[in-house]
Amino acid sequence: MEIWDNPACSKCVAARSSLDEARVPYRLRAYLTEPPSAAELTEVLRRLGARAWDICRTGEPAAAALGMADWSRDDDSEPRWIAAMVAHPELIQRPILLLDDGGALVGRTPEAVAEAVRRTDL
């Protein structure tokens, strides 16, 4: 499993702690310093079954500066959302758990992390 991680994020800390407790191996990706490409983010969205705006932190200062609250949420606008998150990775919801089974979850809740543990082959 790979975790898109921000060490300063309490949800990331909680997810790592739960995975450590369950002895689930993982790799950390410091996505703020190693941002995804547009192709990588598009693939993660496919794995999540989500749209770009579903995992965008629209309350961040960068989102306000870009005026994202007024952006359309349709097929034609999705590349714009993805480009913004690639340019400003702090806009990407965290932690994102990329499972070895090809799926992905946003690990913000204990239930989501527990699901990741269940889906991990130990």
Instruction: Note if the pTM is more than 0.95.
Output: no
Q: What are the φ and ψ backbone dihedral angles of 33, each rounded to 5 degrees?
A: -100, -15
CATH number at residue 55: 3.40.30.10
**Residue spans of alpha helices (H) in the chain:** 10-21, 38-48, 61-66, 78-87, 110-118
Q: What is the pLDDT of residue 121?
A: 65
Active site residues: 9
Q: Is 70 exposed, middle or buried (0-12, 13-18, 19+ CB in 10 A)?
A: exposed
Please tell me the distance from the alpha carbon of residue 108 to that of residue 122, in angstroms, as a whole number.
22
Domain count across the chain:
1
Count the helix, strand and coil residues of the chain and give each as a percent rounded to the nearest 5: 50, 15, 35
Q: Kindly give the parts of the chain with pLDDT less than 70.
A: 121-122
Range of the domain at 15: 2-118
| Angle in degrees, 0-180, between the axes of helices 38-48 and 78-87, rounded to the nearest 10 | 120
